[in-house]
Structure 1
Amino acid sequence: MAVVASVFSAFAGTEPGKDAAVVKKYPYPFKYSDVISDNISIVPVDRIIKDWGGNVLMWGEPAISDIDYNGENLYGKRIERKILKGKEDGVRIYIGSCFFLLHSMYHKFLAADPTLQEAAIRDIEGNRLTVPWMAGHTYRGVPLYWSCANNPRTRQFYREVITENMKAGYDGIVIEEPRGAAHGVGAGGCFCDHCMELFRVYMGKTYSPVELKKRGIDNIDTFDYREMVKPIANTREAYLKAKKKGKIPLAEDFMEFHLKEAANLVGEMSDLARSLGGEDTVVGLFGLRLGPEWLLNSHHIDFYASELAWGPPAEDGYKGVSFTFEVARALGKPHAWTYISPNQATFIKNHNSFNLVKAWIAMSYAAGQHFNIPHYAWAMPEAKVDVWNGRPSFKQGCSPHLYFPTESYLPFFRFVTEHAELFDGYDSIEQIGVLHSSPALRNRKFEQRVHDMCWELYESNIQYGLAIAGDDWVVHDLKESDADRFEFVIVPEPTKLDDAQQQIVDTWTAAGKTVKWKDVNDILSRIDPVVSLESDSGIFVRPRKNPDNALVPAVIHLLNTDYDLKKDGMNEQRDVVVRLSHKLLNGGTVHCITQYSPEDEPVQLSFEVKPDGVYVTVPKVDFWSVLKPECINE
Structure 2
Amino acid sequence: MERGIYFDGWYPNEHCYHPSMPPRRLTMIDDLEDMGGTMLVWAGLGGGSISLAYLEEEAFGQVPARFRQHGYVNDSEFIHHAKDRGIDLFAIVFEAQAWEFPAEIVDGEVLAQNQLRGAAPASTVGLREFSTDTGPASWKAFKHYFPDGLVNSDGEQVVDLWEEVVSRDLDGNPLRAHWVEVDDKGQVCYLADRNNPVWREYLKAIIRIQIDAGAPGIQLDETDVPLLAVRYGGCFCKDCVKGFRSYLQGLENTPAELAGIDLTTFDYRTWLLEQGFRKGVAPQTFPLYGHYTRFQEFSIAETFRELTAYVREYAASKNHAVRIAGNFYDCAPYYDAMVDEVDVLVTEMRETTYQQPWYFRHGVGLSRGKPLVAVENPYGGVTDELLTKLQEGRARDLFRLTIFEASAMGANMSLPYGSWLGTEVKDSYWVPRKLAVEVGQFLKSIDGVTSNRSEHSTAVVYSVASIMRATIDSDQFFDGDRWYKRVEATDSRPASYWETVEHLSRSSRVFDTIVFPDEELRATDVDADSLSRYSTVVVPDAWNVSSGQHEVLVQFLDAGGSVVVHGAYGTELPDGAAARLLEHQGTTIVQAVDAIASVTPDDVVTDLGALAAANIHALDDGTVALHIVNYDYDETSDSIRERSDFTVGVRVTGEVTTAELHAPGQEPAPVPVTVVDGVASVTIPTLATYAIVHLS
TM-score w.r.t. length of structure 2: 0.73
Correspondence 1:310 to 2:352: yes
Within-5 A mapping of 1:528-607: 529-533=602-606, 538-546=611-619, 548-549=621-622, 553-583=623-653, 586-590=654-658, 593-607=659-673
Q: CA deviation at 1:72?
A: 12
The one of 22, 33, 38 equivalent to 2:7 is 38
Q: Is the 8 A contact 1:490 1:515 kept in 2?
A: yes
Bigger shift: residues 529-538 or 570-579? 529-538
Q: CA deviation at 1:616?
A: 1.5
The one of 332, 335, 338 equivalent to 2:375 is 338
Q: Which residue of 1 aligns with 2:36?
A: 53
The one of 391, 399, 402 equivalent to 1:357 is 399
Structure 2 Cα separation of the partners of residues 254 and 86 of structure 1: 44
Correspondence 1:196 to 2:241: yes
SS of the residue corresponding to residue 600 of structure 1 reads coil
Correspondence 1:497 to 2:492: no
Q: Which residue of 1 aligns with 2:104?
A: none
Within-5 A mapping of 1:193-272: 193-208=238-253, 211-212=254-255, 214-216=257-259, 218-237=261-280, 239-240=281-282, 243=283, 246-272=284-310
Correspondence 1:405 to 2:405: no
Report the residue type matching 1:364 in the other structure.
Answer: A
Deviation per residue, 1:150-188 (Å, 9 max, x gap)? 233322220111111122222231111111111112211
Correspondence 1:625 to 2:694: no
The count of corresponding residues between Structure 1 and Structure 2 is: 560
The one of 73, 78, 91 equivalent to 1:96 is 91
Structure 2 Cα separation of the partners of residues 183 and 134 of structure 1: 14
Q: CA deviation at 1:145?
A: 1.6
Structure 2 Cα separation of the partners of residues 33 and 172 of structure 1: 13
Report the residue type matching 1:589 in the other structure.
Answer: T
The 1:596/1:111 distance shift into structure 2, 3 A limit, reads: farther
Q: Which residue of 2 aligns with 1:462?
A: 509
SS of the residue corresponding to residue 544 of structure 1 reads strand
Deviation per residue, 1:202-229 (Å, 9 max, x gap)? 2212345xx1555356101221111221
Q: Percent identity?
A: 18
Q: Which residue of 2 aligns with 1:292?
A: 333
Deviation per residue, 1:402-425 (Å, 9 max, x gap)? 4333431321210122343223x6
Q: Is the 8 A contact 1:58 1:96 kept in 2?
A: yes
Correspondence 1:125 to 2:171: yes
SS of the residue corresponding to residue 629 of structure 2 reads strand
Q: CA deviation at 1:606?
A: 4.2
Structure 2 Cα separation of the partners of residues 267 and 337 of structure 1: 22
Structure 1 Cα separation of the partners of residues 552 and 608 of structure 2: 40
Bigger shift: residues 462-471 or 608-617? 608-617
The 1:138/1:302 distance shift into structure 2, 3 A limit, reads: farther
Q: Which residue of 1 aligns with 2:148?
A: none
The one of 65, 79, 82 equivalent to 2:78 is 82
TM-score w.r.t. length of structure 1: 0.79
Q: Which residue of 2 aligns with 1:435?
A: 461
Bigger shift: residues 74-83 or 370-379? 74-83
Q: Which residue of 1 aligns with 2:484?
A: none
Structure 2 Cα separation of the partners of residues 567 and 597 of structure 1: 21
Structure 1 Cα separation of the partners of residues 449 and 204 of structure 2: 41
Structure 2 Cα separation of the partners of residues 188 and 398 of structure 1: 26
Within-5 A mapping of 1:148-163: 148-163=193-208
Correspondence 1:301 to 2:342: yes
Q: Is the 8 A contact 1:426 1:554 kept in 2?
A: no
Deviation per residue, 1:3-44 (Å, 9 max, x gap)? xxxxxxxxxxxxxxxxxxxxxxxxxxxxx1645443564564
Q: Which residue of 1 aligns with 2:155?
A: none
Q: Which residue of 2 aligns with 1:610?
A: 676
Q: Is the 8 A contact 2:52 2:205 kept in 1?
A: no
Q: Which residue of 2 aligns with 1:506?
A: 554
Structure 1 Cα separation of the partners of residues 277 and 526 of structure 2: 44
Bigger shift: residues 170-179 or 59-68? 59-68
The 1:597/1:605 distance shift into structure 2, 3 A limit, reads: same
Q: Is the 8 A contact 1:121 1:147 kept in 2?
A: yes
Q: Is the 8 A contact 1:180 1:259 kept in 2?
A: no
Q: Is the 8 A contact 1:430 1:486 kept in 2?
A: yes
Structure 1 Cα separation of the partners of residues 76 and 443 of structure 2: 30
Q: Mind listing any 5+ residue stretches in structure 2 that lack a counterpart?
A: 10-20, 61-73, 102-113, 115-124, 132-159, 471-491, 566-589
Q: Is the 8 A contact 2:52 2:206 kept in 1?
A: no
The one of 311, 318, 322 equivalent to 2:361 is 322
Within-5 A mapping of 1:353-432: 354-355=395-396, 356-379=398-421, 397=424, 401-423=428-450, 427-432=453-458
Report the residue type matching 2:503 in the other structure.
Answer: E
The one of 324, 345, 349 equivalent to 1:283 is 324
Deviation per residue, 1:87-129 (Å, 9 max, x gap)? 22332x3322211122799997547546343121111111112
Q: Is the 8 A contact 1:342 1:398 kept in 2?
A: no
Q: CA deviation at 1:341?
A: 4.0
Structure 1 Cα separation of the partners of residues 228 and 55 of structure 2: 35
RMSD of Structure 2 on Structure 1 (CA): 3.2
Deviation per residue, 1:552-597 (Å, 9 max, x gap)? x2222121021234544311122211113342xx21323xx33221
The 1:502/1:534 distance shift into structure 2, 3 A limit, reads: closer
Q: CA deviation at 1:536?
A: 6.7
Q: CA deviation at 1:620?
A: 1.2
Q: Which residue of 2 aligns with 1:387?
A: none
SS of the residue corresponding to residue 359 of structure 1 reads helix
Report the residue type matching 1:318 in the other structure.
Answer: P
Report the residue type matching 1:579 in the other structure.
Answer: G
Structure 1 Cα separation of the partners of residues 343 and 523 of structure 2: 14
Correspondence 1:145 to 2:182: no
The 1:581/1:399 distance shift into structure 2, 3 A limit, reads: same
Structure 1 Cα separation of the partners of residues 427 and 409 of structure 2: 27
Structure 2 Cα separation of the partners of residues 216 and 327 of structure 1: 39
Q: CA deviation at 1:609?
A: 4.2
Report the residue type matching 1:588 in the other structure.
Answer: V
Structure 2 Cα separation of the partners of residues 375 and 298 of structure 1: 27
SS of the residue corresponding to residue 323 of structure 1 reads helix
Structure 1 Cα separation of the partners of residues 226 and 416 of structure 2: 30
